[in-house]
């Protein structure tokens, strides 16, 4: 019973799979390995379901001078706000930003632990982690799109409307030719709130806090108006939303 409780606490796996794992072995490591395999197999079967993801988040991640946006979807708002899905989304976004990699097959990218945590489940790829989450949460989960940018002098990201500061219904990334991460993140925040149609329109927007225009505040902080090396503003389930200036790798 103690082993079953420990596995349930560490994995949140369905009870019937937990029981099978404990029946397979009373050793924690062996039972965990069995459970991981069972979760992956079940998740891969369920992932064949092509029902469109109606909920989910845009994940805005930053690792040093690299930033990424990732849209990851699921079936219900209940699952989208669950701790398991939020952690999965953050880890996928962090892995892409940390490794600076985004491909058409995001599932093949190595899964990296978040800076503040380490996971008991040692999945080696994004795809394995998603398959396990599908089995545990009983919903189709998939990465809809992604981009990673390493350009300019500094990058910044901002997300709005989600259960964590890195997750939102709307998110943006900005890379500037001069400045610092705080200035870039501030521009990303204004970009999320205003949805401009061009760079000139972005600089001319009145700031959300009432302190002049975006261009004026950036010029004051940096000394002059910097060039934008890369920019993207995404909305959940709306691929054509906003505008982009990207040299980054897409997935």
Question: Would the pLDDT of 89 be above 80?
Answer: yes
Q: Which pLDDT does position 85 carry in this prediction?
A: 95
Query: Helix or strand or coil: residue 149?
Result: strand
Question: Would the pLDDT of 83 be above 80?
Answer: yes
Cα dihedral 183, 184, 185, 186 sign: positive
Q: Which pLDDT does position 250 carry in this prediction?
A: 52
Nearest to 166 by CA among 176, 156, 151, 154: 156
Cα dihedral 221, 226, 229, 235 sign: positive
Question: What's the topology of domain 55-250?
Answer: Tetrahydropterin Synthase; Chain A (3.30.479)
Tell which wins on pLDDT, 169 or 15.
169
The full length of the chain comes to: 251
Instruction: End-to-end CA distance of the chain: give it in Å, rounded.
Output: 44
- Predicted confidence band of residue 248 (pLDDT cuts 50, 70, 90): very low
Q: Which pLDDT does position 185 carry in this prediction?
A: 94
Q: Which pLDDT does position 123 carry in this prediction?
A: 63
The span from the CA of 58 to the CA of 71, in Å, is 4
Nearest to 74 by CA among 94, 47, 93, 113: 47
Segments making up each domain of the chain, as ranges: 2-46, 55-250
Q: Domain 2-46 belongs to what architecture?
A: Orthogonal Bundle (1.10)
Question: Would the pLDDT of 241 be above 70?
Answer: no
Q: What is the pLDDT of residues 36-70, one digit of tens each?
A: 777 666 654 454 454 556 899 999 999 999 999 99
Q: What is the pLDDT of residues 98-135, one digit of tens each?
A: 998 866 678 888 988 888 776 555 568 888 888 888 88
Q: Which pLDDT does position 240 carry in this prediction?
A: 56
Averaged confidence pLDDT in the chain: 82
The span from the CA of 59 to the CA of 170, in Å, is 9
The span from the CA of 152 to the CA of 147, in Å, is 16
Question: Would the pLDDT of 242 be above 60?
Answer: no
pTM for the whole structure: 0.77
Q: What is the mean pLDDT of residues 144-171?
A: 92
């Amino acid at each position: 019973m103690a082993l079953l409780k420990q596995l349930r606490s560490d994995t949140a796996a369905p009870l019937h799979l937990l029981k099978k794992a404990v029946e397979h072995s009373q050793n924690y490591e062996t039972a965990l390995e069995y459970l991981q395999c069972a979760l992956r197999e079940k998740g891969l079967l369920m992932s064949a379901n092509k029902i469109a993801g109606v909920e989910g988040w845009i994940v805005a991640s930053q690792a040093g001078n690299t930033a990424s946006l990732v849209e990851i979807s699921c079936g219900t708002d209940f699952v989208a706000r669950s701790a398991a899905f939020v952690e999965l989304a953050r880890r996928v976004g962090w892995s892409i930003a940390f490794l600076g990699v985004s491909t058409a097959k995001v599932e093949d990218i190595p899964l990296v632990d978040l800076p503040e945590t380490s996971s008991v489940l040692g999945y080696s790829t994004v795809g394995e982690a998603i398959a396990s989450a599908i089995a545990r949460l009983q919903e189709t989960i998939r990465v809809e799109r992604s981009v990673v940018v390493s350009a300019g002098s500094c990058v910044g990201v901002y997300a709005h409307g989600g259960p964590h500061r890195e997750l939102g219904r709307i998110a943006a990334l900005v890379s500037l030719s001069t400045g610092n991460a705080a200035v870039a993140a501030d521009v990303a925040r204004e970009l999320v709130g205003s949805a401009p149609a061009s760079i000139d329109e972005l600089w001319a927007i009145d700031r959300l806090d009432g302190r002049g225009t975006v261009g004026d505040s950036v010029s004051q902080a940096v000394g002059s108006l910097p060039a934008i090396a890369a920019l993207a503003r995404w909305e959940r389930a709306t691929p054509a939303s906003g505008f982009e200036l990207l040299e980054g790798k897409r997935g």
